[in-house]
Structure 1
């Protein structure tokens, strides 16, 4: 044992009160004790013993690592929606067939990999550890496999019925969002009616005075900074900078407010001229004239620069680099244009209802307000001259009261998504089924998952922290968030016992964790967030994300069965969980780790392979199944993971992935050009090295969704007709039987051929990397070849490939 190792301290079991926040070393101890229980006395690797490194983490807690002799094995299933679920299903079947799966201690899943990973966990839990997706070529396919295949179109498994059902739920969510937003529009209209004379002053008087004050402040700031004693003071942050910045914001707000009366006057004047076509149409016509006048000088300038423009267009046609730049600029422009559409529509709605209020209050003869609205205002408030204003405030108050009854997750798309996924992937396995019977849905609580039935499951999500001043210093907009049978949480929020989180009434179970881990489409998407589109996506209810009680603040709420039942206590517990509060946080991206509830989305919004948590646990062998859409074979998700590992964990990864890229690109191009290709025995896999702190080494087995030419006929038949296979877009979540089977069969082929020693693999050069031979020998020891149908000359060990011809077939 190393001199700095202290095993006694590492083996202590943590004791927690309800909602007690624990550190990572505490949860690691608990996980290892459960893994040891599963290993029992028959695993030749023996029990895992945790050692304490000679350093502490950034929070001052001890850094633990498993002893090398225990050879902790982790399996990561990547994101990628139903595409990844299908590919990873085949991979799991192959791992089971080759005896590798029983050696896996940790299962780490993200998004689509989580679909099939959670399916496996639920099935193992319900069947005492029996693998549910046995691969056998027979007429009676296992019901579990048949069930998933039948639900590959999981969002619309029942056809038109599901279409109507999904549409009605989506419409309900839009109406719920409207209930939250309309009070703001009505109050804005009412304030405009009240303040008509204030902001109706000619020539933007308030804005003019504020602009003058801004100019004086800026000049004064310049004089202040010119003093020699102050030239060494920091510019930012400073009190003058805050004052000037505040004045700039006030000028913009004032200018916008003072613009409204001009627009409303134009709309009023257009009532007669519009001839019944509506005031908005008339205003739009006026704007078109104004824009045309503004564009006229630009058109003249364009005429003079015609030759330069033609030269630029010609260059764009001939230069791929220029085309790429233009495409990038066009994409950014399209995002900003799309981001403006819905806010502009809301602005027009505000103008229209304000105009109605003016017409009702002033009783104008050519009023465009709806007759029923006019009559209702008169009936309730008479002819006071402020009846529309009062009506708007009353309606706004009613809507606010309604929002108090809404909950953050109730009307998002999360429940719909969760239920479809649960129906497709969470079930109780059966040996045989009659024709008219389906598998029974199985939705266990996370804390009810057996520790000995299968690998310890880590379900990865992303904690959105776009507005955090401390946790988001690196600009990732997200942190790693974990669901497991024992603990829930993140480094930022801390971790608490899963059973404690389940006692909070938030619906947390395995189905919820699976859906959160795969919540790819949302208004806020961690590192993948599109900030200009955040309000638009939120308003359109593109919200698969989930609000979960902050682990750091669960203790405040107390368990449901111990909480007071008084009306005051219930109202107090509901404080800050109102839908309007959290919806507004989503709308403007004001998300951080200190809120009472935190916003979680797809784990791929920070790391899409699921490897990070396995590296954090110092797994000696990590098997990665990468089914990410990567048409260019650029390995973007791998590069992102390597960067996080190096910065956060001090872990360096050396993986020879370039050979996979070269072969896959060559095969794909040959198939596209000729319809055929050479049959190469791999590589689908690259085996590399993990360099942990403290001079510890690990092995990374990286299996990529790719073609090498020796796949079966129906995989190639599908590839010939769909050139993007096996990297079709994740937007396609409606797989056909053929499509699902092509990905499943490819996953089985890539993994089985590797562990049966039929496929070559990319590896580090033993002459340059002295640990390569020892690491490959470790794989031969951990995962001996189990197939008995070896042909003459069949390789029996991974090590035999180290000296093989790099282009040779098996």
Structure 2
């Protein structure tokens, strides 16, 4: 699509290039070429995007073809790194969590041992918890005329009291549960309880709900999968505390009393692990770093002056985009600022969407809630902030916190398994953020308590809030917007487009309309594009030319042949990041065809 638009000279009239998610790959390449154009070229994009008959493709475009399997272009070595780097990060995450478990086991085990030694009444914890809940419940009964804020506060306390009650009840049963699971007389079937129980429940529910909606069955599957991690953590805690309760010899003899020796050993181990993981940079131990480096190698480069070679621009700063010698579209790279009520978000949109638009550009970086900070200041604060990093963040599709794509059931599991393509960025609202606290931020990711108020903010794929990159352009009230939608949308439900329509109506009070017959023709495979009207204030209007990856039957034979072999085309899963030459060319030529058809139809 970019090749077609460039050939028609449309870039020379463009004010902005707004990219999001996977669209940022080619957008990043475009921005890099424009920042450092080859000598004598007035338009940097021509080095890559020129498509001239009877001429061999440029070295730059041949490089793009060679890196169509950009995550592992070199084969086994890259594949091993793709596995090893996230695995190292996962081990680091587990060590951070283990430091907490050791402290919890030292305290919990000591409480159980002390309770047994003092022969405390068996139901003490439950009585204390129920008594506290009763006190709060009675308070609410006699203070119904208190101000609403106070009633809400007391009600919140009552809710957290249930958590306290559960902890105290667990304290009552902890010693017995440890003996049941780990004593010498325990049958092996007891400790399999933690694995068999959730599987049995999930199987029973799946069978009972066969006639229910697929969405409900998927929800239950996610809950059953996500429950494995909390159960594993409880099991690990009980195993650690069990060494104290069962009076087993400790590896460190300090006072000669097994329980105290274990408590000292756990405390020292927790302190040691806490210290060595304190300075961990979660952005480096996560897969983000690998993903960002692969994107940089494949897309962030310039064509050399002799046009026969390319040069990597791995450290190209956002503030250095747009060479001053020629006019080029201003770059806007869209990401998502993840926020939640648990993290302190009070605005209704934050609680519902769990997300806000976050922008990287040549001059400013930020979001509405954080404010916008000069890009040069953000680059000074975080040396990793550059074009390749911004593109990787904008395309960070898999993360524990994913804006509107909210999967709380899997958040803990994804964090521990290091499925974390998102990025912890210094908050634009706070110029001096200091060092990253790995334990605090990892806990924040696990429980979803992300916000725009901390020293660091969690940013991820821009598609987690708006997947066309058009929202930022409508904010700027552009008169003509050309949007390319290559989402995996085999049913032609147009989810990205309908989400955009809803968001601008809610956030800006603006309306975007399309002709119903044109939408029907698109869904029936009779056209590739739509024209929408944007109704701005003061009776001004804008046009949205919406280009959709679709087939009408008049495409090039190579495109139709690929479709014959792979019926899902052009809506194959976006998880497929390993394109063959045939696949690469089918998508490239389809985009060229769609853009040509759309521009011709619009001008006619």
Residue 222 in structure 1 maps to residue 148 in structure 2:
no
Contact 1:105 1:455 in 2 (8 A): yes
CA distance in 2, matches of 1:98, 1:287: 62
CA distance in 2, matches of 1:290, 1:617: 51
Q: TM-score, normalised by structure 2?
A: 0.90
State the Cα deviation string for residues 14-42 of structure 1 (Å, max 9, x = none): xxxxxxxxxxxxxxxxxxxxxxxxxxxxx
Give the counterpart of 2:367 among 481, 490, 511: 490
Structure 1 residues 418 and 397: alpha-carbon distance in aligned structure 2, compared to 1, 3 A threshold = same
Partner residue in 2 for 1:245: 159
Structure 1 residues 401 and 527: alpha-carbon distance in aligned structure 2, compared to 1, 3 A threshold = same
Structure 1 residues 217 and 383: alpha-carbon distance in aligned structure 2, compared to 1, 3 A threshold = closer
Q: Which runs of 5+ in 2 are unaligned?
A: none
Partner residue in 2 for 1:51: none
- Tell me the CA shift for residue 159 of structure 1: 1.0
Residue 119 in structure 1 maps to residue 29 in structure 2:
yes
Structure 1 residues 446 and 220: alpha-carbon distance in aligned structure 2, compared to 1, 3 A threshold = closer
- Tell me the CA shift for residue 685 of structure 1: 1.2
- Tell me the CA shift for residue 287 of structure 1: 9.6
Contact 1:183 1:396 in 2 (8 A): yes
Following superposition of structure 1 onto structure 2, how do residues 428-443 of structure 1 map, counting pairs within 5 Å? 428-430=302-304, 439-443=311-315
Partner residue in 2 for 1:579: 438
Give the counterpart of 2:386 among 505, 509, 525: 509
Structure 1 residues 686 and 267: alpha-carbon distance in aligned structure 2, compared to 1, 3 A threshold = closer
Following superposition of structure 1 onto structure 2, how do residues 108-507 of structure 1 map, counting pairs within 5 Å? 108-127=18-37, 129-130=43-44, 131=46, 132-138=48-54, 140-197=56-113, 200=116, 201=120, 203-215=122-134, 217-219=136-138, 221-222=140-141, 224-225=143-144, 230=145, 234=148, 237-238=151-152, 240-269=154-183, 271-274=184-187, 281-284=189-192, 316=211, 325-359=212-246, 361-363=247-249, 374=250, 376-378=251-253, 386-430=260-304, 439-450=311-322, 451=324, 452-466=326-340, 467-474=343-350, 475-507=352-384
SS in 2 for 1:710: coil
Structure 1 residues 193 and 444: alpha-carbon distance in aligned structure 2, compared to 1, 3 A threshold = same
- Tell me the CA shift for residue 123 of structure 1: 0.9
Give the RMSD, CA atoms, in angstroms.
2.9
Residue 750 in structure 1 maps to residue 594 in structure 2:
yes
CA distance in 2, matches of 1:455, 1:290: 54
The worse-fitting range, judged by mean Cα deviation, of 529-538 and 200-209 is: 200-209
Structure 1 residues 657 and 630: alpha-carbon distance in aligned structure 2, compared to 1, 3 A threshold = farther
SS in 2 for 1:409: helix
SS in 1 for 2:57: coil
CA distance in 1, matches of 2:429, 2:237: 40
CA distance in 1, matches of 2:196, 2:354: 40
Structure 1 residues 101 and 216: alpha-carbon distance in aligned structure 2, compared to 1, 3 A threshold = closer
CA distance in 2, matches of 1:202, 1:149: 73
Structure 1 residues 289 and 628: alpha-carbon distance in aligned structure 2, compared to 1, 3 A threshold = closer
SS in 2 for 1:688: strand
CA distance in 2, matches of 1:753, 1:513: 32
CA distance in 1, matches of 2:293, 2:199: 49
- Tell me the CA shift for residue 515 of structure 1: 0.5
SS in 2 for 1:507: coil
Following superposition of structure 1 onto structure 2, how do residues 656-667 of structure 1 map, counting pairs within 5 Å? 656=515, 659-665=518-524, 667=525
CA distance in 2, matches of 1:633, 1:445: 38
Give the counterpart of 1:627 among 473, 486, 506: 486
- Tell me the CA shift for residue 268 of structure 1: 4.1
CA distance in 2, matches of 1:578, 1:283: 35
Structure 1 residues 536 and 428: alpha-carbon distance in aligned structure 2, compared to 1, 3 A threshold = same
The worse-fitting range, judged by mean Cα deviation, of 205-214 and 521-530 is: 205-214
- Tell me the CA shift for residue 247 of structure 1: 3.0
State the Cα deviation string for residues 41-65 of structure 1 (Å, max 9, x = none): xxxxxxxxxxxxxxxxxxxxxxxxx
Partner residue in 2 for 1:539: 416
- Tell me the CA shift for residue 267 of structure 1: 2.6
Residue 714 in structure 1 maps to residue 558 in structure 2:
yes
Following superposition of structure 1 onto structure 2, how do residues 528-677 of structure 1 map, counting pairs within 5 Å? 528-554=405-431, 556=432, 573-574=434-435, 577-656=436-515, 659-665=518-524, 667=525
Structure 1 residues 645 and 487: alpha-carbon distance in aligned structure 2, compared to 1, 3 A threshold = same
Q: TM-score, normalised by structure 1?
A: 0.68
How many residue pairs get aligned? The number is 588
Contact 1:634 1:661 in 2 (8 A): no
- Tell me the CA shift for residue 402 of structure 1: 0.5
CA distance in 2, matches of 1:663, 1:739: 23
CA distance in 1, matches of 2:488, 2:329: 26
Structure 1 residues 445 and 663: alpha-carbon distance in aligned structure 2, compared to 1, 3 A threshold = closer
CA distance in 2, matches of 1:333, 1:354: 31
